[in-house]
Structure 1
């Protein structure tokens, strides 16, 4: 415990920098995954063959260890942030994609028929009916992806992308348990806190529906 306190007293600014770096990488990856997975998920909800192809494609990529994907990206992208974002996006896309497909395919037919009977255009029906009804399932996929990305982003430091993984890999190299505890606990707390915050945001946004 004394060594941990010494670390924070001497390296507090560096720890804050690595923490913000880790959060920035994770947030960017989740945003990119949303931009990719949500439109693809909406398309897949209409075309089953496309869904099967994408599920198999990303399923094969997810089987590969995250570090292996990172190393495969290095010859093409070099080291740094680009290969890290690519590998983490591959991890983040499937849960958002599958939940988007499930959300749009499980819409109540009677509500869609009522919207059509009211004379709603396709565009208005999509934004006012389909998207709000599918959002809870989609949001669950985004929450899962965010937590997974934060936990896996520690590997990014292995190829020079920074983040809290720097502390963990430094601890492994120097055989310092205090650094391993600081890095590991920080990532775990950040993952749990992110899940909690996203859950509270969802509950706040849907408070009237829940009541």
Structure 2
């Protein structure tokens, strides 16, 4: 409890929020790393997942790849990429992308698979093309599941984006690693609390987006 009070006092100090090494700058860096990793992963995983869910092809491979990627140790990946690519932002970004892909991939193919086959058959009987069925039927109806995958990927990347500081970058991990090095445990705890707060805020925003994109008929049901 004493360490928690000290951490809260550390956070309450207005002088810690300004400057290039302040809380505000580190928070924006952490958010930037998260958005960068998730966006790149979404560009890769979502189209593949929609293709798998819509056509049914390669589902076993997609599930296997997702499961294998979830088992990868993030710290080990960051360290490996840093040794191969050097100190910088590229190494942790690649690790974050690999971490986010499984949830996004699963959310994308589940979004298509969750749609009742009778609905897609009716759309096909009306003369809709495969692209129209995907974009006008499956994707709108399955959007909540796609957002669920996005929420999961975002939370996972936020929780591990602090490892960017492990290879010389910024983010909230700077407070944690610096506190560990100097035995400033209130600073470590404050960095953890900031990470948790950021995760909760983004999760709440994505939950709101998920509710807004839920089809009216499903919401009423």
What TM-score results when the alignment is normalised by the length of structure 1?
Answer: 0.90
CA distance in 2, matches of 1:123, 1:191: 35
2:43 to 35, 39, 55: 35
Who is 1:70 aligned against?
A: 78
Quick one: structure 1 residues 128 and 10, their matched pair in 2 at CA, closer, same or farther if it must change by over 3 Å? same
Change beyond 3 A, Cα 1:166–1:5: same
- Residue 22 of structure 2 corresponds to residue 17 of structure 1: no
Question: In the alignment, what sits opposite 2:93?
Answer: 85
SS in 1 for 2:171: coil
More deviation, 185-194/39-48: 39-48
Contact map agreement 1:34 1:96 (CA 8 A) in 2: yes
Tell me, yes or no, if structure 1 residue 143 matches structure 2 residue 151: yes
Instruction: Check 1:64–1:9 CA distance in 2 against 1; reply closer, same or farther (3 A cut).
Output: same
Among candidates 97, 111, 120, match of residue 105 of structure 2? 97
Q: Tell whether the 8 Å contact from 2:143 to 2:213 is kept in structure 1 after alignment.
A: no
> Equivalents in 2 of 1:120, 1:34: separation in Å?
27
Tell me how far apart the structure 1 counterparts of residues 34 and 170 of structure 2 sit (CA, whole Å): 11
Q: Is the 8 A contact 1:4 1:179 kept in 2?
A: no
Distance 2:79 2:119 in 1: 48
Alpha-carbon distance, 1:58 to partner = 4.3
- In structure 1, runs of 5+ residues without a counterpart are none
Q: Deviations for 1:113-141, whole angstroms, at most 9, x for unmatched residues?
A: 21122222222222111211221111111
User: What are the Cα deviations for residues 53-82 of structure 1, in whole angstroms up to 9, with x where unaligned?
Assistant: 343344334323211001111233211211
Among 200, 208, 221, the residue aligned to 1:200: 208
How far off its partner does 1:37 sit?
Answer: 0.8
Secondary structure of 2:161's counterpart equals: helix
What corresponds to 1:119 in structure 2?
127
Deviation at 1:2, TM superposition (A): 5.8
Aligned residues: 210
Equivalent in 189, 195, 209 of residue 197 of structure 2: 189
Contact 1:22 1:150 in 2 (8 A): yes
1:165 CA drift (Å): 0.2
